[in-house]
C-alpha cells in the first residue's frame, strides 16, 4: 500500500533536507506528495506553536508592563511623600482605635440603645459579651479600612 520511500520523504520534509532523488520521486508519487505536504504543514504548525510558547500572550505582556511600571512608580513615589502619608494615615487609624477604646463603654451603651433588639438578642444568647466582641471587630474593620484607604492613596499616586 504505502510507498517504501514515504519514511524518507517524511524525514526530508521534517528536516527540510531534500535530495534530488527524493524530490523527483515526490513529483511522481502521489502518496509521497500527499505525505510531504502533510509533513510540511505539520512542521510549520509545530513551529507556530513553538513561537507562541516563546512569546507570551500580548495581554500577559501588557499586564506585566503595566505592573512593572506601577511598581517602579510606587517605589519612586514611596520614598519621601508616601512614607509621610503612610505614617499620617496610620496615625489616623491609631487615632480611631484610641478614640473607640477610650469611648468603649459609652459607645457600647450607645450601640446597645441604638439597636436594642439586636442587643437583647445577643445578650440573651451570650450574656452581652458578643457586643464588646462586635465592637472590637468594628474597630478592627475601621482600622483596616483606614489602612486600605492609605494604601489606595499610595497606589493612586503613581
Ligand atoms: Zn513514494
**pLDDT for residue 119 is more than 60:** no
| Residues whose CB falls within 8 Å of the CB of residue 78, separated by 6 or more in sequence, listed in order | 154
Residue at grid coordinates 497606589: 155
State pTM to two decimals: 0.30
Cα(33) to ligand 1 centroid in Å equals 7
Q: What is the pLDDT of residues 81-99, one digit of tens each?
A: 667 777 777 777 787 777 7
Average pLDDT over residues 16-43: 89
Instruction: Report residues near ion ligand 1: CB below 5 Å.
Output: 3, 5, 29, 31-32
Cα(123) to ligand 1 centroid in Å equals 91
Cα(35) to ligand 1 centroid in Å equals 9
Average pLDDT over residues 13-39: 90
Amino acid at each position: 500500500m504505502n510507498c517504501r520511500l514515504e519514511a524518507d520523504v517524511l524525514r526530508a520534509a521534517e528536516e527540510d533536507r531534500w535530495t534530488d532523488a527524493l524530490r523527483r520521486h515526490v513529483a511522481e508519487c502521489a502518496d509521497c506528495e500527499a505525505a510531504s505536504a502533510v509533513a510540511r504543514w505539520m512542521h510549520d504548525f509545530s513551529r507556530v506553536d513553538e513561537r507562541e510558547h516563546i512569546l507570551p500572550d500580548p495581554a500577559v505582556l501588557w499586564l506585566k508592563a503595566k505592573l512593572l511600571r506601577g511598581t517602579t512608580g510606587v517605589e519612586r513615589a514611596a520614598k519621601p511623600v508616601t512614607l509621610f502619608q503612610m505614617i499620617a494615615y496610620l496615625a489616623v487609624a491609631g487615632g480611631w482605635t484610641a478614640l473607640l477604646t477610650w469611648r468603649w463603654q459609652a459607645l457600647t451603651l450607645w450601640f446597645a440603645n441604638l439597636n436594642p433588639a439586636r442587643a437583647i438578642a445577643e445578650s440573651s444568647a451570650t450574656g452581652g459579651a458578643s457586643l464588646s466582641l462586635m465592637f472590637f471587630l468594628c474597630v478592627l474593620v475601621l482600622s483596616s479600612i483606614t489602612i486600605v484607604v492609605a494604601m489606595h492613596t499610595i497606589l493612586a499616586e503613581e
